[in-house]
Amino acid sequence: MHLTTLLWTVLNTMSRSPMKLSRLKRPEYTGTNRCLPCTAVNVALAAVLAIGSAAVVAVATASASAASLSGLTIFSGALFVIYLNGYLVPGTPSLTKRYLPRRLLAAFGKGPFVRLDATFDPDETLRTVGVVIEGRDDLQLLPAFERAWRTAIDDIGSADMSVEAEITQRVASLGGFDATEIEIAESPEALRMWYGEELIATWPSRAACIADIAAADILPEYDSWWYERSLAMQAELLGALRLFLDRCPVCYGAVTLSLEAVSSCCYDYDVVATTCDGCNARLFEVELRDGLAGEGS
Whether 227 and 112 have beta carbons less than 8 Å apart is answered as: no
Note the pTM of the prediction, 2 decimals: 0.62
Chain centroid to CA 16: how far?
A: 34
Q: Residue 83 in contact with residue 30, Cβ under 8 Å?
A: yes
17 has a pLDDT exceeding 60: no
What are the pLDDT digits (tens) for 188-246? 778 888 988 888 888 999 999 999 999 999 999 999 999 898 888 898 899 999 999 99
- Express each pLDDT in 230-248 by its tens digit: 888 898 899 999 999 999 9
Confidence of residue 133 (pLDDT cuts 50, 70, 90): very high
Mean pLDDT throughout 105-119?
55
pLDDT tens digits along 19-39:
455 555 666 566 666 777 677
Query: Is the pLDDT score of 48 beyond 80?
Result: yes
Rounded Cα distance between 30 and 56, Å, is 32
pLDDT higher than 90, residue 141: yes
pLDDT of residue 175: 81
CA-CA distances (angstroms) from residue 37 to 90, 93, 105, 159, 265? Answer: 15, 9, 7, 40, 9
Confidence at residue 281, expressed as pLDDT on a 0 to 100 scale: 92
Higher pLDDT, 106 or 53: 53
pLDDT 10s digits, 266-296: 566 677 889 999 999 999 887 765 434 344 4
- Looking at residues 152-156, what average pLDDT do you find? 89
In angstroms, the Cα distances linking 194 to 26, 180, 184, 199, 269 are: 28, 11, 6, 5, 27
Question: For position 11, what pLDDT does the model report?
Answer: 46
Q: Smallest Cα–Cα separation from 237: which of 166, 131, 162?
A: 131
pLDDT-derived band at 120 (thresholds 50, 70, 90) equals confident
| Distance in angstroms (rounded) separating the CA atoms of residues 126 and 143 | 14
Strand runs (DSSP E) across the chain, as ranges?
132-134, 139-141, 182-186, 191-195, 198-203, 255-263, 268-276, 282-287
Q: Is the dihedral of CA 133, 139, 142, 145 positive or negative?
A: positive
Please report how the helices 231-241 and 122-129 are oriented relative to each other, as an axis angle in degrees rounded to 10. 80
Using 50, 70 and 90 to split pLDDT, how confident is the model at 187?
confident
Query: What integer is the mean pLDDT of 37-56?
Result: 83
Residues 166 and 160 sit within 8 Å (Cβ to Cβ): no
Q: What is the pLDDT of residues 76-96, one digit of tens each?
A: 888 887 777 777 766 555 555
- Cβ distance 149 to 140 under 8 Å? no
Averaged pLDDT score across all residues of the chain: 78
Neighbouring CB atoms inside 10 A of 143's CB total: 9
Indicate if the pLDDT at residue 41 is higher than 70. Answer: yes
State the pLDDT at residue 145. 96
Q: How far apart are CA 211 and CA 265, in angstroms?
A: 29
The percentage of residues in the chain with a pLDDT greater than 90, rounded to a whole number, is: 26
pLDDT score, position 212: 94
How far is residue 256's CA from residue 293's CA, in Å, rounded to a whole number?
Answer: 20
129-155 average pLDDT score: 91
36-61 vs 64-85: helix crossing angle, rounded to 10: 160
- Residue 124 has φ and ψ, to the nearest 5°, of -65, -40
